[in-house]
Structure 1
Amino acid sequence: MAPVQRNVVGIIALVCAVAGTVFSCVKGALILGWLLLPVAFILAIVALVIKNKKRGVAIAALIVSIVGFVLAPLVFLFVVGQAANDAFGGDTVVSDSASDSTAGGAGSSLGAIGSGASNNGAGSSRENPLPLGTTVENDDWAVTINSVNFDGDALVAAGNPFNTPADPGKQYIVVNLTATLKADDSDGSSPMVDVEYVSRDGVTSNSYDNIVVLDSSFDSLSTLYQGASTTGDMVFEVPADSAAEGVLAVRPAVFGDKEFIALQ
């Protein structure tokens, strides 16, 4: 019987399995880990079937690679979740702009409360909206609805000769808002603010449903840097017989938490 020899393939498999498992748990090296783990698994299988070779190291490589396969997707999901949270700007909070100004400036954290927390659930539903002028913010942006003008038809007509009148039974309202960048982003960022009008009957309208051009339109394309603000108008076509009975749904980021704000 031939003597049992060192299993070189098994050793290589074990090295790849250990390195792959480690790299698959390192945020900046996930892909390298994913590449090494399949290689380690295949080499471990090959090392097990080679005759007259020690199998202990091959079995160890197989076990470690399987453990790596289990850990890799868990780490990936954690990294994706963390990245998503950063992209969405974190949790949405609300603050009273008036009281914040007294306490030390708009957007001051002194007035901030958790979304729907100690504010008796205000803002979490259409039936209990936050008052007009409330600042809705996350880690990156602070958004304040400054005013709502119900005489939007006249403003739209005067704003541009190509603006079309509201459909029968509808009217325009003009919502003025301010977005301020809180995050310290060296590349700057554009205010991807999401504002919707929700009617008394629960029907949602968006400012992009109708192409309306005003000189004062909200600028969502320009790049802002920390502390900078932009103020402008969004136009909504809403039911004429119950325009004032709706609410605004405001998100400081497109996929952030929604807060409801009263129109007046």
Structure 2
Amino acid sequence: MHALCTLFVFCVLTSLGQKALGSEIINGKKTQKRSMKYMASVQNNLQHICGGFLISEEFVLTAAHCAERNPSRVVLGTHNLKKMNDTMKYEVKKMCKHPSYVNVSSGKDIMLLKLSKKARVGKRKISLIKLPNKKMNLKDNKKCLVAGWGLTETNGQMVDDLRVVEVPIINLEKCQKLWRKLPGHVICAGGYGTKNGICQGDSGGPLVCDKKAVGVASYNRGYHCDYPDIPNIYTDIFTYLPWVKKILKENDC
């Protein structure tokens, strides 16, 4: 069933129904109305399946494994998924998965969604988030933010309001020892040494450090979101900037 659990060890965080993949925020709080206006709800024809974030008027960045749930639209401009209207819905014109992506265990879990029309950036409810223009020095225990819609505890209930929580960066060497096997070019944050982290429904959402999106939520361990556990895994955006910029420049993939 999709990219559920590789080797029965970890599970990607896409969303819902059948105790699915995805994820929400553990120990988070409701996001302030005028903050994080770049957040996107990636949806299929039925429901929210992943998070994402707007990086240009025509592209949303998310996780490659979210493609397995057949995203058909993106919702921008609301923190409450019960309070959305047709003007907030943008059809997905094209999915641009990283060409070397195979599955979450091999990494490169990053994807751009081209929208069918330009987002109304600059309006009161929609904005872009910046990407890092250089390799950021993410020191151990640096506090960053992650946000999403979904479960607030293992096997818990969905929420409609966007939630956000502070998570610490986990030293990559320590993360490697705890996981034993990690794909390349990832960032570890939350889930370990803290009760805060991601859970089913947050896949594709941004790890935000110093107001920049530095990572894409990829996976945690199985369906387990009762932390402290082991670190959550994010795709390191900086590594893939040349690929992202090429698509944005050419407006295609």
Query: What TM-score, normalized by structure 1, do the two folds share?
Result: 0.27
Structure with greater proportional strand content: 2
- Structure possessing the higher radius of gyration over alpha carbons: 1
